[in-house]
Amino acid sequence: MKLHRESKGTITVATILFLILGALAIYFLKIWSLVIIMPLLVIYCLVFWFFRVPDRSILDHKENVIAPVDGKVVMIKEVDENEFLQGKAIQVSIFMSPLNVHICRYPVTGKVIYKKYHPGKYLVAWHEKSSTENERTTVAVETLTNHKVVFRQIAGYVARRIVFYCNEGDKAKAGHEFGFIKFGSRMDVFLPLDTEIICKIGDITKGGLDVIAKLKN
């Protein structure tokens, strides 16, 4: 199983803790140490599972808006996007549980024209105000269809580390990685009002594969 580059520090700490706690359990509990070691082993394996990098064949897209993450669509509504677009947009929000792949992918193809990191709170990721009050990043891409699409990584109650690798001027390719969020979190995508929304609330998405909307050409 291929592991994400962001896994190195977390897996190192997890390995050290597992060995120390396991050794202490064996020393003090003898045969009963399995009561401690087995749950620790499950948690240790889940850490590896969280940082997995699935092998996915990413296609080229022009009008299609691709799911940026694995997760569940929890919101589709018209909102005011006041950080970059300064106007109304359709917000599509996808919630990621700790068991989802947490690689963050470009939802559209084009050119990165804006990026910004915002420190903030750690409300639960499905809270509506988390989009504007939580720790988050905002990225905007000018698409091949001459639209401006904004997307936002949002830290949740558990997630305390957001990483994004893109810079202004970079070429964005729908479905390809631009960042990572550790543990439960959310991504919002802000689309033009005339966008055809294909997904619906409750849909389970596969990042880089599923088409969630289509821009007007």
Q: Which H or E run includes 24?
A: helix 7-29
Say yes or no: 71 and 116 in one domain: yes
Say yes or no: 87 and 44 in one domain: no
The crossing angle, in degrees rounded to 10, of helices 7-29 and 34-50 is 170
The answer as to whether 59 is a domain residue is no
Say yes or no: 31 and 96 in one domain: no
Q: Which H or E run includes 43?
A: helix 34-50
Say yes or no: 128 and 202 in one domain: yes
Q: What does the pLDDT read at residue 122?
A: 65
Q: What is the mean pLDDT of residues 27-54?
A: 93
The answer as to whether 58 is a domain residue is no
The residue segments making up the domain with residue 181 are 64-214
Say yes or no: 125 and 206 in one domain: yes
What percent of the chain stands above pLDDT 90? 79
Domain tally, the chain: 2
pLDDT in tens, 53-76: 999 999 999 999 999 999 999 999
Say yes or no: 169 and 120 in one domain: yes
pLDDT in tens, 77-91: 999 999 999 999 999
> How distant, in Å, are the alpha carbons of 79, 83, 112, 152, 208 from that of 87?
8, 9, 19, 16, 27
Say yes or no: 81 and 39 in one domain: no
Q: How far apart are CA 67 and CA 210, in angstroms?
A: 6
Per the rule left: phi > 0, alpha: psi between -120 and 50, beta: everything else, 49 is alpha
Kindly name the residue from 7, 93, 130, 185 that is annotated as catalytic: 185
Q: Are 59 and 208 in contact (CB under 8 A)?
A: no
Q: Is the pLDDT of residue 101 over 70?
A: yes
Which domain CATH number covers 208?
2.70.70.10
Tell me if residue 7 is catalytic.
no
Phi, psi dihedral angles at 175 (to 5 degrees): 95, -10
